[in-house]
Chain A
């Protein structure tokens, strides 16, 4: 069993739909990152969470430390949101950031 599990693996939505991607982890963590990767490689860091909720534009990320679970929500989805979304956790407080990655969720938003 992976330490970080994402669901679903693939998600297809229509433009305008509300989208939720889930991430569960089995270890104690100090932080959780949500990353976005577009075709061609570039990875963008969307959020870093250690508790609660963060919002940036149409993106909302929540984390429940007790349940070891995080969600990424996209409101009013748009075709440009099509990408792979990756959850990654940081274990411990070592300097720098050694992250354990989930397998990613491939999101396709159709017009």
Chain B
């Protein structure tokens, strides 16, 4: 199984809603990542988890709250988002050391109204 599965594929939410994005992989990868991608722009790193511990937070606003409950799952909790947070949110995973390849999910297209 070489897949990173993200749900939901599409999400529309209001600025007062609370929602969560989910990411799952069963490749035994112990590094997992959240990226944000605006249209026609490259992905921007948000968070990195290494061995289920948050190792990188790229100064992301607190309305985005990541969680790694176990080595296969990564969540991104969303609360009080702004319309400018509308984007494609991509999850990825890899080995922690000697990274040969990143495996990406197909993303969640988020629209904040």
Interface residues of A (CB under 8 A from B): 31, 33, 35, 40-45, 48, 86, 88, 90, 95-99, 101-104
Contacts and interface: CB of A to CB of B under 8 A. Distances in A.
A33 B88 CA distance: 21
A101 B52 CA distance: 25
A63 B109 CA distance: 34
22 contacts: A35-B104, A40-B106, A41-B37, A41-B90, A42-B106, A43-B92, A43-B104, A44-B104, A45-B101, A45-B104, A86-B42, A95-B31, A95-B50, A95-B96, A95-B97, A96-B48, A96-B55, A96-B96, A97-B33, A99-B102, A101-B43, A104-B42
A43 B109 CA distance: 14
Interface of B: 31, 33, 37, 40-43, 45, 48, 50, 55-56, 88, 90, 92, 94, 96-97, 99-107, 109
B109 A41 contact: yes
Contacts of A31: 99
Nearest to A48: B100
Contacts of B43: 43, 101
Given A48-B100, A95-B55, 4 more contacts: A41-B37, A45-B101, A99-B45, A104-B40
Contacts of B45: 98-99
A63 to B, nearest CB: 15
Secondary structure call for the A interface = strand
A43 B88 CA distance: 12
Of A33, A40, A45, A90, chain B has the most CB atoms within 10 Å of the CB of A45
Contacts of A101: 42-43
A90 B45 CA distance: 12
B72 to A, nearest CB: 16
